[in-house]
Amino acid sequence: MYILSPSILAADFKELGKEIQTVDKAGAQYIHIDVMDGEFVPSISLGMPVISSVRGTTKKVFDVHLMVDRPERYIQEFVKCGADIITVHAEACTHLDRVIQQIHDAGARAGVALNPATSLTALDYVLDKVDMVLIMTVNPGFGGQKYIPSCTDKIKKLRHIIEDRGLAVDIEVDGGINKDTVHTVLSAGANVIVAGSAVFGEGADEKVREFLEIMSGYGKIQK
């Protein structure tokens, strides 16, 4: 299925609960939550107290993206806060296989993120163990960046690998996604779309509906 995961990094933090409810009611299936530690990426963003405080505002899937060094230190805590999916960066994990198992053992779905310059070979021995792969289509750390065109071929290659191996793995994309670039990533094989500044702001409900209408034209990913 095609899924929209609005990134609350672009929301109005003064009205965060209301902003989440707006995109929820408009039909977004996931809520994307970026956690940044100031080490793995330059910025510092949302942590466990914020996630806990907004968990009660929606029943939608909390899609938590950990842009942090040694994420294995925090897996259990993020699940307790309400994370349904936890995505860790391959570049941030010394023992990636172990972290994936840790996420599953905690009761969450596991995702692995790859930065734009990271090869798909990083997934060679874990792809059959993950629920989702997040292809970063900008360098992580800041919102509002432009889509990196070379990532399109990376998405295509990953989709071919997943299909050739007969796996039920989602491909999520994050970075520079708007109503123009979303066609590019959907055509390449992505099925979970993260959008921040292209959704939040004035008319967020209408923007969600516009994204969902575009995505509906691509049918369903066969698994």
Is 131 annotated in a binding site? The answer is: no
Under 8 Å between Cβ of 58 and 69:
no
φ, ψ dihedrals at 87, nearest 5°: -110, 125
Known catalytic membership, residue 12: no
Is 153 annotated in a binding site? The answer is: no
Rounded Cα–Cα distance for residues 43 and 39 (Å): 8
Is 104 annotated in a binding site? The answer is: no
Is 144 annotated in a binding site? The answer is: yes
Task: Give me the DSSP letters along 188-199.
Answer: HT--EEEESTTT
Is 65 annotated in a binding site? The answer is: yes
Known catalytic membership, residue 174: yes
Which is the catalytic residue, given 24, 37, 170, 174?
174
Residues in the chain: 223
Rounded Cα–Cα distance for residues 191 and 109 (Å): 16
Which is the catalytic residue, given 34, 37, 63, 170?
34
State both tokens at 178: 């708007």
Is 142 annotated in a binding site? The answer is: yes
Is 34 annotated in a binding site? The answer is: yes
Is 95 annotated in a binding site? The answer is: no
Is 56 annotated in a binding site? The answer is: no
Listed in order, strand segments (DSSP E) in the chain are 3-6, 30-36, 61-67, 85-89, 109-114, 132-136, 170-174, 192-195
Q: Which residues are annotated as a binding site for substrate?
A: 7, 65, 141-144, 174-176, 196-197
Q: Point out the annotated binding site for a divalent metal cation.
A: 32, 34, 65, 174
Catalytic residue annotation: 34, 174
Annotated binding site: 7, 32, 34, 65, 141-144, 174-176, 196-197
